[in-house]
Structures are given as structure tokens and as C-alpha cells.
Amino acid sequence: MDKWTLSAETIIPPVERTVVDDLTKRQEPSHNGADLGLVNSHIRRTLIPKRKGKDCWLEEDVVVSKLDSSTYIQFIPRVTNSSDIPFYYPQVATYGFGYIRTDDNCTACTLVILVRELAIGSAVATKKQRSVWQDLVKKLYKWTVTERFGYQKHSEHDVIIGYEQYTAKYHQLKAKYAQRWVEGWTEQTDPKKFVYEDIAIASWLLCLWEQNTDAQDNNQPTFVDLGCGNGFLVYLLTSEGYTGYGIDQCARKIWTQYDCQVDLRAQTLEPFNFVTDADWVIGNHADELAPWVPIIAAKSTSPSAKFVVIPCCPHDLSGKKMPLKANAGQSKYHIYVKYICDLSEQCGFLTEREYLRIPSTKNVAILGRARTLGDHRDSIAKLCESGESGFVARIPDSVKNKLSMEKAKQRAHNPALSAD
């Protein structure tokens, strides 16, 4: 129940946060000498939307009634006209739900949902309105079952960067960049995924860098983005005033759309020989370069070099894909995350993890901001030697496409090849 009353943002995505203005709790008086055990809590709260310039705030009364093992909660929007109810809130006068005990042993209960409509039939007049109540039932059932079986979340968000700080930055960048680039995207990839995902990652990085920059120190950190792909993350960070560059095997069409100060370089890296003076080494879904990110940061000529890597497909130091096997309760992805964390610790970093709020299941950011005591040069040199002896750079996509087209032409001129 606390999620619904104190943290509406976990239930209603367009809501940024819930402000509790007042909370009172009282034990109801006895009736005919009998203590009914009825406890009522009255909460006055304000729902603050993410899009503050477009969506209105909503003041709301919430009444929670508890009697023995039964609980009922009612939501009452404080509006004078129905038109004042924002789009993200059910279009009703009031609504409520509860778990009502149905036996004396407290082993069974009935889920009850009550709605007072603005007009007869209005609560289910449209497909959108009907889906509100269907989703409500699904969520309540899911949470009831998971609570009963003792489910615990495997990931915790907002450990390094607070939720409010991150969301404020995200909505600022989203309003500034999203529409323009979604509409003007020249790549074959889905702009709604890549634009919003990179805006989310940039928001998190900017919050992180602001957190780690002394207010009296005007020296902003520099960065290098290894395997930068479409380069949009580099564009965002550069546009927000930071100096850095991105490297990828081949240029993308979208690169020509960025401002001239965005530094994107097309080259094939030998990670065991690559040295940078950047303060931050970034690897965002950098494929075969991902395990090299902490090593490159450890070798950086910047004395306080740090790194962040968001791993995707599992590769080892040779550049080859790793044949991982999932264990009970642990996915292949999380085994790979542990592998990179182990490499980071061999390089002398104190490793941190953060589950990012991005539209991807590969959402773990591995972070190295501080070093452990001791000399790790020998272990770093051994990692470089082991990688150098077997590293094979990935064939660029442009070369793969060219080879594929040549094979297609050969098959067209020689049907026997197609039969093989």
C-alpha cells in the first residue's frame, strides 16, 4: 500500500514524484463498548508530473482504512471541475480498492475495486479507460503474489545518482534534443531507442560529473568514448560543454549531421597499445572493447583517470565472444558483468555498479572512480600481454556489407553456388 500512497511515481509513469503535504492517523472510537480495531489514515498529497510545462499538478486526498486483516484505500482528486483532472489520472470522481478478508484464518481475501464515475458509464467509455482498470487489477494481483512468496528485487536503481537529480537532468535534455533528432535520424536503426537511451546515459554521466567536480574547480573532466557507434552520446556531452572525442571502426551517416566541434574518429583500435590522456574512458555497448575499458583507464596518462562501461555482448580480451553458461539464479549477462568487474579490480579500481534507467535489458553501468592501494602495474601488463597475443579486431560492418554484396553478385551469376 505504501507504493500507492507515498510513491505514486512507481505506479504512474508520467508522475515524477509524490509530495506528502499532511498525514494523520487515528484509532476510531469503540461502538457499543466494543473495540472495532478500525484505524483510518488520511493523507493529503500532491502529484508532480515530469512534464511540468505541459501537465498540471494534482492535489489529492487518500484515505486508508484498516480493520483486522482487511485494508481499503480510497483516492479523491481535489478538483473543482472534471476538466482539471490531468491525463495521467483516472477520469473519475473517486476510486479505491482493498483486500477484504473472507475467512477467519486470514488465509484468503477478496480484491475489491470501487469507482464513483463522473457520469454513468464514463469510467469504461473508451478503450483507454477500460485498460486503466485492467492494468490496476494486474498490478495488484502481481504484487500480492510476489509479496506472498517473498520476492526481492535483484537490482537497485539510483544508488550513485539520486532519482530526482537524474530525472530533472533527463527531462531537461529530452526537451532540448529528443524531438529534433528523432525526426531527423538518418541511420537505419530505431531513433526512439537510440536517441532516448543515449539521452538517459548522458543525463546520468552529467549528474555523475557534476557530483565529482569541486564547485571551486572550473576544470571539467575530459572523456573518450570507445566504440561510439552513431556518436550521439559524444554529441550530447560535447553540446553540454564537455571536451572529448569518440572512436569507432567506421563512420556513420549521422556523423555529418553533428556540429563541427563534435570530434568523431573512424579508426580500428589495438586496445593493448591504445593510450589516452582523457579523464574518463567510456564504453557504452562497446562489444569487444568493453573488457579493455578499465585497462585503458588504468594506463591513461591522466593521473586520476576513471571509467564507466555498460557491457552488452560478452567478449573476452581476445575480442572473441565468450561462451558463457547461465547458473541458477544468475544470467549470462550478470556473469559477464562480474568478469569485467574482476578485470577492473585487477587494474586496481574500487568497482561500483549502477542499474541505469534506460530502455535496455543490458543496463548495468560498471564504474571505476577510486583506486586501491598498491602497485598494479604488473597485473595490468600481464592483461595487455594476454590480450595482445590473441586479439583479433572485429571486421567493420561496412566491410561485411561489401563482402555480402559481392557474394550475392557471384551467386546471381553462378546459380550453382546458390545450390551449394
Q: In this predicted model, what pLDDT tens digit does every residue of 284-325 receive, in sequence order? A: 999 999 999 999 999 998 888 999 999 999 999 998 899 888
Count Cβ neighbours within 10 Å for each residue of 187-211 and write b for 16 or more, e otherwise: eeeebeebbbbbbbbbbbbbbbbee
Pick the more confident residue, 65 or 263: 263
- pLDDT above 80 (res 39): no
- pLDDT above 90 (res 255): yes
pLDDT band at 137 (very low <50, low <70, confident <90, very high): confident
Q: Considering only 43-52, 62-71, 193-202, which range has the smallest mean pLDDT? A: 62-71
pLDDT band at 202 (very low <50, low <70, confident <90, very high): very high
- pLDDT above 90 (res 156): no
Handedness of CA 209, 210, 214, 218 (dihedral sign): positive
Q: Which residues contact 112 (CB under 8 A, 6 or more apart)?
A: 72, 97, 98, 99, 100
Q: Considering only 31-45, 106-120, 171-185, 352-366, which range has the smallest mean pLDDT? A: 31-45
pLDDT band at 83 (very low <50, low <70, confident <90, very high): confident
Nearest 5°: CA angle at 13, between 9 and 19?
A: 25
The grid coordinates of residue 309 equal 562501461
User: What pLDDT, on the 0 to 100 scale, is given for residue 354?
Assistant: 94
Dihedral (C-alpha) 12, 15, 16, 17: value to the nearest 10 degrees? -80
Q: What is the mean pLDDT of residues 94-118?
A: 79
Q: What is the mean pLDDT of residues 97-111?
A: 74
Q: What is the mean pLDDT of residues 90-119?
A: 80
Pick the more confident residue, 54 or 1: 54
pLDDT band at 121 (very low <50, low <70, confident <90, very high): confident
pLDDT band at 416 (very low <50, low <70, confident <90, very high): low
User: What pLDDT, on the 0 to 100 scale, is given for residue 69?
Assistant: 72
Nearest 5°: CA angle at 382, between 380 and 388?
A: 105
pLDDT band at 133 (very low <50, low <70, confident <90, very high): confident
Pick the more confident residue, 401 or 5: 5
Q: What is the mean pLDDT of residues 232-249?
A: 96
pTM of the model: 0.76
- pLDDT above 70 (res 217): no
Q: Which residues contact 140 (CB under 8 A, 6 or more apart)?
A: 97, 111
User: What pLDDT, on the 0 to 100 scale, is given for residue 374?
Assistant: 85
Per-chain mean pLDDT for the chain: 86
User: What pLDDT, on the 0 to 100 scale, is given for residue 90?
Assistant: 87
Best CA proximity match to 341, nearest among 310, 319, 362, 313:
310
High-pLDDT (> 90) share of the chain, %: 45
User: What pLDDT, on the 0 to 100 scale, is given for residue 12?
Assistant: 83
